[in-house]
Amino acid sequence: MKGERILYPCYFNTELRRNQGRRVPRAMGVPNPSLADLERAVKKNGLTCRVEEKHHPAFWMRKEGRLVVEWKESKEILLKRVAQRMERR
């Protein structure tokens, strides 16, 4: 998986605390994002991704899915770019 990064919707969920899986500042996140919301934000950045029916290890019971994004730089940079393109509700 060299050159790929995995993103889960929980990384952008303002309803979660950092120790519960949120990876972006609360001001950059959205409440309860779906996998479709995340996919739209990734595509708005012009990035290629694929959807996988996997779950975050800490939230195995939710089965919310994940995205595998083609990205060679830091994951933190990717998280911030995607968060900026998430639609605020």
pLDDT tens-digit series, residues 25-77: 999 999 999 999 999 999 999 999 999 999 888 877 878 899 999 999 999 99
* pLDDT attached to residue 74: 94
Judge if pTM exceeds 0.85.
Answer: yes
Q: Is the pLDDT of residue 89 over 70?
A: no
Query: The domain 4-85 belongs to what CATH superfamily?
Result: Signal recognition particle, SRP19-like subunit (3.30.56.30)
* pLDDT attached to residue 10: 94
Domain boundaries, given as residue ranges, for the chain: 4-85
Q: Quick one: three-class SS letters along 39-78? A: HHHHHHCCCCEEEECCCCHHHCCCCCCEEEEECCCCHHHH
* pLDDT attached to residue 1: 65
Tokens of 49: 């991704």
